[in-house]
Amino acid sequence: MLETQRFTLDGSAQLEKHLAHCCDRVLAGVSSVIPMSRLEGILLGGGYGRGEGGVLKTVEDDRPYNDMEFYVLIRGSSWLNERKFRATLHHLGEKLSPEARLEIEFKVLSTQKLESSPITMHYYDLIAGHRRLWGGKDLLRRCRHHRAANTLPLSEATRLLMNRASGLLFSNSLLQKDKFTAEDADFVGRNQAKAQLAFGDVFLTAHGLYHASCRERNHRLRAFTPNENIPWFEKVRRYHNYGVDFKLHPHNTPPDREALTACQGELVTVALQLWLWLEARRLRQRFSSAVEYALCPINKCPETALARNAFVNATTFGAPALLQEKRFRYPRERLFNALSLLLWEPTTMREPQLLHGVQSELVTTTNDFNEMIGAYQSLWRRFS
């Protein structure tokens, strides 16, 4: 497995030292709250774990920009361990974050779960590139199936695009505020850059060409020649250049609402074109518009198990959900449909049929756009 030597490509020695110190603090902190007899390993994932972490260059020095995502591997049931240690690790992250000058996050896993789980983009990125803080060199020896990026299912591409399009949806809400702050601008700019990177990543995943390194993905995208007519492909390729540059060398976004709104409109348009193309490829059914997609009754998460879906619906929405038509559908499908209407159909909040459709998907009665976004965000946090 690939273990990185640096956290960034070109960050200063001072920044590298600072991030290494953060890892030392995390190791000490986790060791103090998790019994060593149960601790299998601690891995740093994300951009810093893969050696491609963001470097915010300022006049004074190089500073960290991204979060640090640590995976704590604990023997036993990941579900039980999550319930037992989640609050403790969350508190530890809050304690360490101010000194680190970035947000420190923890995720609970086990080698058994990794070994038995099918490949996902999330697990692939972790296994393909990480920094090991604790655990033997053979810790992940049985997880090699997570390194076969060419076997990533199309559902993973859809999930990635849903998450980045959700960032655009949340940005829409901020751009419509009466008072647009510098913090709002930074959120919008960051999510626009993430979307631009994701467009190319989604395209590569759909063709079995995804890679953990954003630079390698960019190289593959620039060298790719589509075997079909895709009018928006050159835009996706150009966007990816910017997305990679922002990921490696992020910057604070000026609060220019007009410029951000113009960029937002272009990205939302391309996101819809990519979404319809990808979903037609994945579900083997053509969709001419976001409305047609959202209202189509086809099962949009066919890879999920019906019995498990019923259990998830009951635990998410309560026992009455088992009496509803969608009791055997995975809840992420609700996000697919609601996103399509809220982001890409401007008449949704005025058209009774569409409004009722979104309300039904998000289990809400509100007809206020911002409250609707809040309902979407609550469900998205659980099934993103």
Per-residue pLDDT tens digits for 335-363: 999 999 999 999 999 999 999 999 999 99
What is the pLDDT averaged over residues 25-51? 96
Domains delineated in the chain: 13-147 (3.30.460), 150-286 (1.20.120), 287-384 (no CATH)
> 287 pLDDT exceeds 60?
yes
Average pLDDT, the chain: 96
Alpha carbon distance 181, 298 (integer Å) = 41
pLDDT digits (tens, 9 = 90+) for 202-259: 999 999 999 999 999 999 999 999 989 999 999 999 999 999 999 999 999 999 999 9
> b/e per residue, 190-221, with b = 16+ CB within 10 A?
bbbbbbbbbbbbbbbbbeebbbbbbeebbebb
Determine the pLDDT at residue 353. Answer: 96
Determine the pLDDT at residue 320. Answer: 85
**Cβ atoms 67, 48 nearer than 8 A:** no
How many CB atoms neighbour CB 55 within 10 A? 21
Alpha carbon distance 117, 142 (integer Å) = 11
What is the pLDDT averaged over residues 150-176? 97
For residue 365, CA distances in Å to 52, 99, 139 come to 44, 43, 49
> 381 pLDDT exceeds 50?
yes
Determine the pLDDT at residue 232. Answer: 96
> 119 pLDDT exceeds 70?
yes
Place of tokens 């620039």: 222
Question: Minimal CA–CA distance to 152: which of 121, 126, 123, 122?
Answer: 121
Order the strands of the 39-44 sheet from edge to edge: 104-109, 68-74, 39-44, 131-134
What is the pLDDT averaged over residues 63-88? 95
> 18 pLDDT exceeds 90?
yes
> 1 pLDDT exceeds 70?
no
pTM: 0.94
Structure tokens at 322: 């088992």
Distance from CA of residue 322 to its chain's centroid? 29
**How many Cα atoms are found within 13 Å in the side-chain-facing hemisphere of 363?**
14
Place of tokens 């009466």: 178
Determine the pLDDT at residue 2. Answer: 59
What is the pLDDT averaged over residues 50-71? 94
Determine the pLDDT at residue 324. Answer: 83
Where does the pLDDT of residue 325 fall: very low under 50, low under 70, confident under 90, or very high at 90 and above? confident
**Cβ atoms 11, 53 nearer than 8 A:** yes
For residue 39, CA distances in Å to 32, 104, 106, 127 come to 11, 19, 14, 18
Q: What percent of the chain has pLDDT over 90?
A: 96
Longest dimension (CA), the chain: 61
In eight-state DSSP terms, residue 137 is T
The DSSP bridge pattern shows strands 104-109 and 68-74 to be: parallel
For residue 31, CA distances in Å to 49, 68, 70, 139, 273 come to 19, 18, 13, 17, 48
